[in-house]
Structure 1
Amino acid sequence: MINKISYALAFMLFICAGFIACTDDDKVKITEFTLTFTAPENLNVSGISDLQVSFKNINTGKLTTNKMSGTEGKITLNEGLYNISVEGKINYTVDERTIEGQVKGYKESVNIIGTTSTDNIKLFLFNSKADFVIEEIYFAGSTTPEGKQYLGDQYIKIYNNSDSVLYADGLVILESAFKTSQHFEFTPDVMSQAMVVQCVYAIPGNGKDYPVQPGESILICDKANDHREANSNSFDLRNANFEWYDETKNNMDTDNPEVTNLDKIYCYSNTIWVLNNQGLCAYAIARLKVDRNTFLTDYTYNATYISATGSSMNKSGYQVPNEWIIDAVNISNKAQYAWNVVDASLDMGYTYCGEVQLDKNRYNKSVRRKVLTTTIDGRKILQDTNNSTEDFEAQATPSLKQ
């Protein structure tokens, strides 16, 4: 009798389980997604083709790719939150000549939901002309043999990725005013036109004072000292090409008179500037197309936004037009990453040293641009696709450690 009852109960549980597993709520919901493309502005476009579109599901990590052409494409996807990237070809006319170029596009956190859904991505013309690129950023600093944090040895390396001599005179180093870990809706939103910055430091010179040969780097550091004297785990920066030095009333900064100082155009800090040692900013190199006084007068940025607590807040800084910017790199840590703080035409990805907030493993590491290839004469060509996720080695061994 007990066996019959047990069998009956087991059968009923099996039936219930089957019924529950087959409810509509548990079925994967599908969306027919229509993606439209907006051609780059100010171009006489005759055709867009060979678009390779990648959809990355943020929650699952699944990557789906699809080929599209023209200004619209359709795809069937599981409902979810996606990052979408696009690469393809474009034909446009200049002075009655047809030119074939490359276009790219990127959009974060696209919520694809419902039976049908639509969205639009603005395409931009990708210029692969070799120039200066950011080769490496060492922002997290090092640790002493006792395990204590040491920050004085931060540096940035800039590389001549072309096959001709370039001049570093007038290059500016920029730090974003927005954090990659905090996504707010800023009004006005100028990201498609400019990078909002909180630090601007320039390499001095009259135009041809600082030549950089093809395949060579310039090293820019915080303090051009032999840091091994204070921290045996660090390195000697006395041979740096430039250092950033901040004059303060209390002489908080140190200056190596043998190393040329950057010209300080603007910095939000009233004391000394250090790179964000968690890596929660974007960094860029650019050339200002106006003089210092005009920049400080005409390129201010003042915005409002709503904070996480619902309060109305103000944000100020300076805006550097995107067309002035040569290269940009978004940096975050993996757990805190919220958004890219420069336009997709400058950088479609991000790189990192830390996995989580205050990650102690980020110390003694840098982000370094990957080598794409090496020429016959031994010159390295670094990868530059305007996507820091692809172009950079995260959590890398600093080059000065090798």
Structure 2
Amino acid sequence: MKRLPQITLMLLAVFAAFTSCKKDEDFKGIESTEFRINYPDGFSSSARFEGEVTLKDRNSGTIYTTEAKDGIATFTYIMQGVYDLSVSKTLTAAQFKELAPGLGDDLKNEVVLSGLSLSVNLLTDEDAAKTHEVTLNWAVKGSLVISKIYSNGTKTTAGKTFLNDRYWEIFNNSSETVYLDGLCLAYLWGNTNTAAVTNPFYEQYKDAVFVNTAARFPGSGSEHPLAPGESVVVAQSAANFVTEERPMDIDLTGADFETYYADSDMSQDNTAVPNMEIVYKAIAGARVFGMATMSVILFRATDAEIASMEKLPEPGSSSSNVFLKIPNGIIIDAVQQYKAEDANPVMHAELDASAAVLGREVPVIAERKVAYTATDGRKVLQDTNNSGADFVVSTSVDGTPAFLVPRQYDKPVLNK
């Protein structure tokens, strides 16, 4: 290779430095800001977090990512705005024991670390100069995960909204058979349609969520096994909803269970499909399972346990409706879904670091990504306690309902 004269190299270096300074001077955003990522209580005092950290602009939806080093995440050259910061990292049992001696002595499953800081102002140089802090939570990964949620409904050819065609899918993400008997699928209280509405339960309770409706799998303990890598489909109504007026709809007659409301004229009963047990309704006159919040959880509870749980009215509301308080500690899986990009959360980062955003286009489905395929061919789904990262939200691109098909995990969009 021909060498450039030394004077030429010097001139190029000076020019590069000049243009870099000029570029920095022209930049009107935040040149640099830091976030300190703290481990939870019980972790070694010498441990420092390293891993990916994400900033999301609440207004534009712009996402910035960086790698935290020695417990500090530094973001450079970002636009001024109000941001949500999220952190999610999976540890093996061995890694967790090393970082938190004494906490995980009997642990065998993976552990998810997650953290969330909402509405961080990065509008001025003074804001940027602060070292913002986020303390992580940790949770043991469970066997069962919510893998598909179709809850946004569809439109008729006349443009009317139709919401009776919802379904939820639960996947055994472990290598052992799990029994569904006694497992509850529940919809949470809260408004996730607009940022204009706050969620006072979220503000007042850090260690619990509040349930609007809950449905439980029947059985005495060993009647409904779910094999490794298999899933179960719960339909709001196990009917065929594809009609001339709704060509984009879905046939749910093949569902495994349905959430039939015997006291509702909107709920359909397919006698060939077992019914879930409706174990809680905050709104006595609710006509179908599933409410507007669209965020769902899994937990186990008997009738006696549900009867003993607190039921509280929404803070500041004059309504007589009371909501079931579920402690974070008994929740097996939790998924937040929002319609609005900047909606306010209904659960804390210990359960879910960020939400899968559906938007308002219908029909649309949220589906969990595939993390890898095991040597025996079993799909293992992504579970980092961060729905914004774990789920793909998609709608039809060819005018057919094929993208709504349950039990399908070979889609290219899920296996990237």
Q: Give the TM interval when normalised to the shorter protein.
A: 0.7 to 0.9
- What's 1:320 paired with? 326
1:267 equivalent to 2:290? Answer: no
1:241 equivalent to 2:246? Answer: no
1:109-120 residue pairs with structure 2 within 5 A?
109-112=119-122, 113-115=124-126, 116-120=129-133
C-alpha displacement of 1:97: 6.5
Structure 2 residue ranges without an equivalent (≥5): 1-21, 396-402, 409-416
Q: Which SS does the other structure have where 2:49 is aligned?
A: strand
- What's 1:296 paired with? 307
Contact 1:340/1:348 (8 A) holds in 2: no
1:151-230 residue pairs with structure 2 within 5 A?
151-180=163-192, 181-182=194-195, 183-184=197-198, 186=200, 189-228=203-242
- What's 1:12 paired with? none
CA 384–98 in structure 1, closer or farther in 2 if over 3 Å, else same:
closer
1:306-385 residue pairs with structure 2 within 5 A?
316-334=322-340, 337-354=342-359, 356=360, 361-363=361-363, 365-385=364-384
Determine what percentage of the aligned residue pairs are the same residue.
28
C-alpha displacement of 1:333: 2.1
Structure 1 residue ranges without an equivalent (≥5): 1-21, 307-311
- What's 1:16 paired with? none
Contact 1:228/1:235 (8 A) holds in 2: yes
Contact 1:176/1:282 (8 A) holds in 2: yes
Between the aligned partners of 2:136 and 2:240, the Cα distance in structure 1 is 47
**Structure 1 residues 338-389: Cα deviation after superposition (integer angstroms, max 9, x where no partner):** 12211112212222443x4xxxx412x3111122222233221111111212
1:387 equivalent to 2:386? Answer: yes
The alignment of Structure 1 onto Structure 2 pairs a total of residues equal to: 360
**Structure 1 residues 2-53: Cα deviation after superposition (integer angstroms, max 9, x where no partner):** xxxxxxxxxxxxxxxxxxxx9xxx9736586453444324556552332443
C-alpha displacement of 1:98: 12
CA 63–320 in structure 1, closer or farther in 2 if over 3 Å, else same:
same
**Structure 1 residues 267-316: Cα deviation after superposition (integer angstroms, max 9, x where no partner):** 1331412434xx6431111123xx3244234322334249xxxxx98974
RMSD, matched Cα: 3.6
- What's 1:81 paired with? 82
1:150 equivalent to 2:162? Answer: yes
Q: Give the TM-score normalised by structure 2.
A: 0.74
1:281 equivalent to 2:294? Answer: yes
Contact 1:267/1:273 (8 A) holds in 2: no
C-alpha displacement of 1:251: 4.7
Contact 1:52/1:68 (8 A) holds in 2: no
1:123 equivalent to 2:136? Answer: yes
C-alpha displacement of 1:141: 2.7
Q: Give the TM-score normalised by structure 1.
A: 0.76
Q: Which SS does the other structure have where 1:93 is aligned?
A: coil
Between the aligned partners of 1:185 and 1:334, the Cα distance in structure 2 is 14
Q: Which SS does the other structure have where 1:156 is aligned?
A: strand
Q: Which amino acid aligns with 1:296?
A: A
- What's 2:64 paired with? 63
Between the aligned partners of 2:104 and 2:293, the Cα distance in structure 1 is 46
Q: Which SS does the other structure have where 2:388 is aligned?
A: helix
Between the aligned partners of 1:96 and 1:299, the Cα distance in structure 2 is 30
C-alpha displacement of 1:69: 2.2
Q: Which amino acid aligns with 2:35?
A: L
Structure with a larger share of its residues in strand: 1
1:92 equivalent to 2:100? Answer: yes
**Structure 1 residues 113-140: Cα deviation after superposition (integer angstroms, max 9, x where no partner):** 442324331211243x351111111112
Between the aligned partners of 1:267 and 1:297, the Cα distance in structure 2 is 15
- What's 1:49 paired with? 49
Q: Which SS does the other structure have where 1:390 is aligned?
A: helix
CA 153–110 in structure 1, closer or farther in 2 if over 3 Å, else same:
same
1:21-36 residue pairs with structure 2 within 5 A?
28=28, 30=30, 33=33, 35-36=35-36
CA 142–33 in structure 1, closer or farther in 2 if over 3 Å, else same:
closer
Q: Which amino acid aligns with 2:343?
A: A
Contact 1:305/1:313 (8 A) holds in 2: no
Contact 2:169/2:406 (8 A) holds in 1: no
- What's 2:404 paired with? 398
Q: Which SS does the other structure have where 1:304 is aligned?
A: coil
Between the aligned partners of 2:45 and 2:211, the Cα distance in structure 1 is 33
C-alpha displacement of 1:96: 10
Q: Which SS does the other structure have where 2:352 is aligned?
A: coil
Between the aligned partners of 1:40 and 1:322, the Cα distance in structure 2 is 16
Q: Which amino acid aligns with 2:55?
A: F
C-alpha displacement of 1:68: 3.1
CA 231–170 in structure 1, closer or farther in 2 if over 3 Å, else same:
farther
Contact 2:86/2:354 (8 A) holds in 1: no
1:127-138 residue pairs with structure 2 within 5 A?
127=140, 129-138=141-150
